[in-house]
């Protein structure tokens, strides 16, 4: 197999790759199918209304994971890697107030989230516990298009047909042109022994079958820039996290305490672990707040990798370069 680093490290928003990013991606795929028109129900009129039904854990934990917001924003034409999290609340509020939505190229459609997003607390769908069904109807209420999507983790989404067939929605194919494709870690290590290359060098060779070295480096730089920005935002903010549980942010206060101990004879031998932990915590709190994060490989694990990169760098000015050297 060959999974690109840009599939493992995906730029998106919190708090969950499965429950937030996945549904938003599914909504984007649904809009693309609507625009294509190939699978529309024969005889149905133009699209006039949209609705969504959430099943399994998307229903039971959907409010806490902002799944309904993700669907709203996705049907409005936004994607996890381009949406400005600071605008998400404003966009959601406007759509809820107006009961209308305007996906790109489809005109203004009826969509009242309080009515048209249904949290189905019945049994989960058979294929996966994280499913949503998106539907479009014409002005007479006739079904125009319906598709079932499964959010399978890490922001990846498959339709019901793809999941049954074992297909991947990604393109190009998983091994297409990759000189160091592998089925398991044992094969990867054996290839490294035969080739004399590091794992990072083999991954770079795979990536460069899809893009130039300069494009690859720019993509890695962007990933690190988002990670670094997330760390800074998380360390710089206090207060209560959204979600109604009154969980207080902790990273900011711990960070201030660590800064105060610098240059004094108070530092403990394990202080590097404290820096590592507070940096990871800062990212995780930003994720919980619905901020912009990078999956590593999921939102829930998003803090570990950037914390390691930031903590093992000696100067903030060379963090991006050193992270790219390690991870590419």
- The per-residue pLDDT for range 56-100, each reduced to its tens digit, is 999 999 998 999 999 999 999 999 998 988 889 999 999 999 999
Round to whole Å and give the CA distance between 58 and 49: 22
Digit-coded pLDDT (tens) for 5-14: 998 899 999 9
> Which pLDDT value is given to residue 229?
94
Q: Which domains are seen in the chain, by residue range?
A: 18-165 (3.30.1330.90), 173-209 (no CATH), 213-327 (no CATH)
Digit-coded pLDDT (tens) for 112-165: 999 999 999 999 999 999 999 999 999 999 999 999 999 998 899 999 999 988
Round to whole Å and give the CA distance between 136 and 151: 20
Round to whole Å and give the CA distance between 248 and 225: 26
Retrieve residue 137's tokens: 């109807």
Q: Looking at the predicted structure, is the pLDDT value of residue 299 above 70?
A: yes
Round to whole Å and give the CA distance between 224 and 311: 14
Beta bridge partners of 159: 149
- The CB density around residue 60, as the number of other CB atoms within 10 Å, is 16
Round to whole Å and give the CA distance between 231 and 282: 6
249, 241 in Cβ contact below 8 A? yes
pTM: 0.83
Nearest to 39 by CA among 164, 145, 150: 145
Q: What interhelical angle do 304-312 and 213-236 show, nearest 10?
A: 90
- The CB density around residue 264, as the number of other CB atoms within 10 Å, is 7
Share of the chain above pLDDT 70, in %: 91
224 Cβ neighbours under 8 A, 6+ residues apart: 306, 309, 319, 320, 323, 324
Digit-coded pLDDT (tens) for 231-270: 999 999 999 998 778 899 999 999 999 998 877 766 677 7
**β-strands 47-56, 117-119 pairing:** parallel
Round to whole Å and give the CA distance between 147 and 133: 6
Dihedral over alpha carbons 137, 143, 145, 151 (to 10 degrees):
90
Tell me the residue ranges of DSSP E strands in 174-282. none
Least confident residue range of 43-57, 169-183, 200-214? 169-183
The label of the residue with tokens 């969950």 reads 16
- Interior angle at CA 45, CA 77 and CA 43, nearest 5: 125
């Amino acid at each position: 197999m060959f999974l690109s680093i840009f599939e493992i490290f995906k730029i998106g928003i919190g708090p969950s790759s499965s429950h937030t990013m996945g549904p938003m991606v599914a909504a984007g795929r649904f809009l693309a199918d609507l625009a294509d028109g190939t699978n529309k129900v024969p005889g149905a009129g133009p699209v006039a209304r949209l609705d969504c039904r959430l099943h399994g854990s998307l229903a039971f934990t959907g409010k806490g994971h902002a799944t309904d917001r993700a669907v709203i924003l996705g049907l409005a034409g936004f994607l996890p890697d381009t949406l400005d999290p600071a605008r998400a609340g404003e966009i959601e509020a406007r759509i809820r107030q107006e009961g209308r939505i305007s996906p790109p190229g489809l005109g203004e459609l009826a969509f009242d989230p309080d009515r048209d997003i249904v949290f189905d607390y019945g049994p989960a769908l058979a294929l996966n516990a994280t499913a949503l069904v998106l539907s479009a109807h014409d002005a007479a209420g006739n079904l125009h298009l319906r598709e079932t999507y499964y959010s399978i983790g890490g922001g990846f989404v498959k339709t019901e047909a793809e999941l049954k067939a074992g297909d991947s929605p990604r393109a190009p194919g998983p091994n297409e042109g990759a000189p160091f494709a592998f089925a398991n870690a044992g094969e990867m290590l054996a290839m490294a022994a035969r080739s004399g290359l590091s794992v990072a060098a083999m991954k770079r060779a795979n990536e460069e079958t899809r893009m130039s070295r300069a494009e690859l480096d720019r993509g890695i730089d962007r990933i690190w820039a988002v990670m670094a920005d997330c760390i800074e935002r998380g360390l710089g903010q206090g207060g209560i996290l959204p979600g109604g549980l009154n969980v207080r942010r902790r990273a900011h206060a711990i960070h201030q305490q660590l800064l105060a101990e610098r240059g004094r004879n108070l530092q403990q031998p394990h202080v590097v672990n404290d820096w590592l932990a507070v940096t990871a915590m800062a990212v995780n709190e930003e994720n919980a707040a619905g901020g912009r994060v990078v999956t590593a490989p999921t939102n829930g694990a998003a803090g570990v990798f950037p914390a390691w990169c930031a903590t093992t760098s000696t100067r903030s000015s060379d963090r991006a370069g050193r992270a790219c050297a390690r991870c590419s």
